[in-house]
Structure 1
Amino acid sequence: MKIGILGSGLMGGKLGTLWAKSGHDVTFSFARTEQKLSRLAEEAGARYGSVADAVKDADAVLLAVHWSKVDDVLDQAGDLAGTVVLNCCIPLNDTDSELVLGLTTSGAEELEKMRPDARWVGCFSTTPSESFFPVFDRKGQPTPPHVMAYGDHDDAKDVAFSLIRDIGFEPQDTGGLRNARYVEPFAMATVELAYVQPGPASWTYRFEKLR
């Protein structure tokens, strides 16, 4: 699968690296420096280029930038018509301390308004990046941790589910994109659980329905 990474920080850099290691054709883009993109690509066995390069003919695109950068990266990406876009952005203020949207809308829904012809799937926003490599190393375990994934296009969700499994997680279908109104605040709780409470930040979760 050809995957474009829009935003090559902790989230995009790690996910893109693991997808490349899983055999996908990955192109990194949108970082502070070209040197960072070059290093990521070399270490992952991937490519790097402009945002336009990354989205061209992509089977899936990951949007992984700070909320303040969304307008910039989408301007460079174009209309994204028909493109499966995995979104892990949370609508945070400049200090990352509070959500700037919620309850009556969500970051995911606002992104859909910006690019209505893209096929959006929210995922990975409630999973600390520190967990990605440990989970990948344990890939194949009987009870993998979950990643919540939500969107309105079943075929796009199928693509997301496959890429989630490639990392070693199990997708938890969390319904339509509107449910981002409730998932995005949960991401703020994961900050407490991963980074404030004692122990490593490689925190994961798994939901079970008891019989």
Structure 2
Amino acid sequence: MKIGILGSGLMGGKLGSHWAACGHDVTFSYSRSASKLDRLARESGGTAGSVAAAVEGADALLLAVHWSRVDDVLEQAGDLDGRVVLNCCVPLDAQDRDLVVGTTSSGAEELARKRPGARWVSCFNTTPSESFAPVFARKGQSPAPQVLTYGDDAGAKEIAGGLIRDIGFEPLECGGLRNGRYVEPFAMATVELAYVQPGGPALTYRFDKLR
């Protein structure tokens, strides 16, 4: 699968590198440092390029930028009609402290309004990037940790689910994009658990229904 990474920071760089290790054709784009893109491409066996190059011919895209950069990267990406886009953005302010969208909408819904032709799926936005490497190393072990996943396009969620499993997680169906109003605030709880509470940031979670 050809995957374009729109935002090659902690989230995009790590997920893209793991997908490349699974054999996917990954293009890294949108970084303050061209040398960082080149390094990611060299170390993973992927390629580095512009946002337009990452979008061209991609089977799936990952949007992984700070909320303040969303409009800029979308402008460079174009209309995205028909594209499957995995979104791991949380709509945070410049201090990464408070949500700037909530209650009556969500970041997921706002992105869908900006690019209504795209096939949006939100995932990984409640999962610290520090967990990716240990989960990837344990891939195949049961039970797998989960990733909350939500969107309005069943086919796009199926594609996202395959990519989530490639990393070693299991997608946990959380309904439509509207449910981002409740999932995105949960990301703030995972920040507390991962980065404030003791034990280190490689946090995973799993919800089980008792029988």
Quote the residue 1:32 is aligned against.
32
Relative to the length of structure 1, the TM-score reads: 1.00
Question: SS of the counterpart of 1:133?
Answer: helix
1:53-83 superposed Cα distances (whole Å, 9 cap, x missing partner):
0000100000000000000000000000000
AA paired with 1:155?
G
Q: How much has 1:142 moved relative to structure 2? A: 1.2
CA distance in 2, matches of 1:55, 1:186: 30
RMSD: 0.4
Is 1:22 the counterpart of 2:22? The answer is yes
Structure 1 runs, 4 residues or longer, greater than 4 Å off: none
**Equivalent residue pairs, number:** 211
Quote the residue 2:57 is aligned against.
57
AA paired with 1:164?
I
1:6-45 superposed Cα distances (whole Å, 9 cap, x missing partner):
0000000000000000110000000011100000100111
Q: How much has 1:170 moved relative to structure 2? A: 0.4
Is 1:158 the counterpart of 2:158? The answer is yes
AA paired with 1:169?
F
Q: How much has 1:107 moved relative to structure 2? A: 0.4
For residues 1-211 of structure 1, what are the structure 2 equivalents within 5 Å?
Answer: 1-211=1-211
1:87-121 superposed Cα distances (whole Å, 9 cap, x missing partner):
00000000000000101000010000000000000
AA paired with 1:71?
D
Q: How much has 1:179 moved relative to structure 2? A: 0.4
AA paired with 1:80?
L
Question: SS of the counterpart of 1:85?
Answer: strand
CA distance in 1, matches of 2:184, 2:75: 24
Query: Percent identity among equivalent residues?
Result: 71
Q: How much has 1:200 moved relative to structure 2? A: 1.2
Q: Which runs of 5+ in 2 are unaligned?
A: none
CA distance in 1, matches of 2:9, 2:44: 14
Question: SS of the counterpart of 2:4?
Answer: strand
Question: SS of the counterpart of 1:42?
Answer: helix
CA distance in 1, matches of 2:181, 2:22: 32
CA distance in 2, matches of 1:199, 1:23: 33
Question: SS of the counterpart of 1:159?
Answer: helix
Q: Which runs of 5+ in 1 are unaligned?
A: none
AA paired with 2:159?
V
